[in-house]
Amino acid sequence: MISDPFSDILRLVKAEPVIAGGFTAGGSWAIRFPQPDKIKFFALVKGSCLLCIDGWKRPVRVAEGDVFLFSGERGFVLASDLDAKPVDALRLFKGGADKTARLGRKADCIQIGGHVRLDPAGGAMLADILPQLIHVRGTAPEAAAIKWLLGQLARERAGELPGGALSSALLVQMMFVQILRVYLESSASQKAAGLFRAIGDRRIAPALRLMHGDPGRVWHLGELARAASMSRTTFAMHFKSVAGEAPLSYLAGWRMRLAAKALREENPTVSMLAERFGYASESAFSNAFKRIHGISPKRYWRAARKHAEGATAAGNPAPQA
């Protein structure tokens, strides 16, 4: 299979969307959500409402079939009526996961929501580059796949069918990927140089696939430029303009993220990692690792082991990449 950098990144950060519940509301209502500690997502199965983010001047209208991903460090309110007194979401949804709450007697608005789990150690790679809000409107042509997935998800949850939990989890995973795909293709993701813009750029895609497909190979700028059908100079300039860094700097950063994952999950020697990621010596690899992560591979490994042992002693699963 051809290497897919976007999938590689989602696997590295272990992005796992989880349905936490939802609500049915009617009449005049409002719900206040605290500042999220995770990436949250919402899908409106029926009706419409307003999204009011603290500090924003205007509310965002959310219609039936819309989905949005919220990663901002602000509280927010979902409401049918801005004059309604908000109900505290923590109290409303108290009682565990997969809870559906009800406000009022009617079902004018039906919502499904949840959050995205990320690896505690490597998840920042995705969390730090997401915008505060990604809003995909159900009426948008590119949202057809999301709309279908949302319909299937609503049926699975309402029908209580055998295998419904697994099916729902897979549908939410696919919906999360589709939301990010729509964003990758939007003009919003093209405004600033960075990872999202690089992934969505078709001109450098062949070079990215080569680097991700064989990160341990000693790639040369000329090889990558030929794959992208550009001259060395044009390729280097265009890559930096969309990714925010030079091609070989991007490759070094990706190698070191994979190396950090290996140190957290495996028990490799520095020489093994140096060979795996294309470095001629342990010292060359260690210096590259320290430039990216701020500490040597051995210190990183010891810190990861200590963290894992502490989490196990506390009765919590050790974080994995």
pLDDT at residue 319 in the model: 40
Three-state SS at 266: coil
Instruction: Provide block-wise average pLDDT over 10 residues at a time, the chain (321 residues).
Output: 83 90 91 90 93 93 93 91 92 70 87 90 87 91 89 82 87 92 80 87 94 95 96 97 96 96 93 95 96 94 82 51 32
Task: Report which residue type is found at 313.
Answer: A
Burial class of residue 159, CB neighbours in 10 A (0-12, 13-18, 19+):
exposed
What are the φ/ψ torsions at residue 269 (nearest 5 degrees)?
-85, 165
Going from the C-alpha of 208 to that of each of 225, 261, 276, the distances in angstroms are 11, 20, 18
pLDDT at residue 320 in the model: 37
Q: Is residue 314 within 8 Å of 282, Cβ to Cβ?
A: no
Q: Is residue 9 within 8 Å of 208, Cβ to Cβ?
A: no
Q: Please state which CATH class domain 246-321 belongs to.
A: mainly alpha
Domains of the chain by residue range: 5-190, 192-245, 246-321
pLDDT at residue 154 in the model: 84
CATH number of 5-190: 2.60.120.10
pLDDT at residue 258 in the model: 96
Q: Residue 234: CB partners within 8 Å, gap ≥ 6? A: 225
pLDDT at residue 270 in the model: 95
Going from the C-alpha of 44 to that of each of 68, 85, 160, 203, 242, the distances in angstroms are 9, 21, 20, 36, 34
pLDDT at residue 36 in the model: 86
Cα 162 to Cα 63: distance, rounded to the nearest angstrom: 31
Cα 105 to Cα 297: distance, rounded to the nearest angstrom: 59
Residue 12 parent element (H or E): helix 5-13
Cα 31 to Cα 8: distance, rounded to the nearest angstrom: 37
Q: Give tens-digit pLDDT for 139-187.
A: 988 889 998 998 888 888 777 778 888 898 899 999 999 999 998 888 6
Q: Is residue 78 within 8 Å of 65, Cβ to Cβ?
A: no
pLDDT at residue 65 in the model: 92
pTM of the complete model: 0.85
Chain centroid offset of residue 218 CA: 29
